[in-house]
Amino acid sequence: MSAQCPHYKVDYSKDLVRVLKGLGERARRLGFAKTLGLALREIVDHLEKEPAAWGTPGLFFKALGLQKYTRQWWVLRVTYAVDEDRCLVYLLDIKPRRDHPLSTHHETNGAA
């Protein structure tokens, strides 16, 4: 946890909510719903408590004061940005690995 931010608020777009709902539907269909739910809860827990320590830093957006991070968790690639001044985490994207059955790429290519 940051000394300045004992707790971060996690924010995400309506588009990401739609993506996550689709991911949840695929997970239910493929028998991964419980595992996906647990992974998503763990992701949010890490983002609320110590997002900078949890991810690998990427681009820094100086004008916005945002540091972008990525992290692989279970089969999910998580992309987010942290605003330390406002104690906010912007959850930008969560995607399954392309080789995992939860991936839409996996479905469209008919991979086994």
* Mean pLDDT of all residues in 97-104: 75
The model's pLDDT over 64-100, given as tens digits with 9 standing for 90+, comes to: 889 999 998 888 899 999 999 999 999 999 888 877 7
What's the mean pLDDT when you consider all of the chain?
86
pTM score > 0.85 for this model? no
Domains of the chain from N-terminus onward? 9-102 (3.30.2310.20)
CB 69 within 8 A of CB 52: yes
Cα 38-73-99 angle, rounded to 5 deg: 105
Residue-level pLDDT at 110: 47
* Mean pLDDT of all residues in 52-62: 90
Would you state the torsion angle of the CA atoms of residues 97, 102, 18, 86, taken in this order, to the nearest 10 degrees? -40
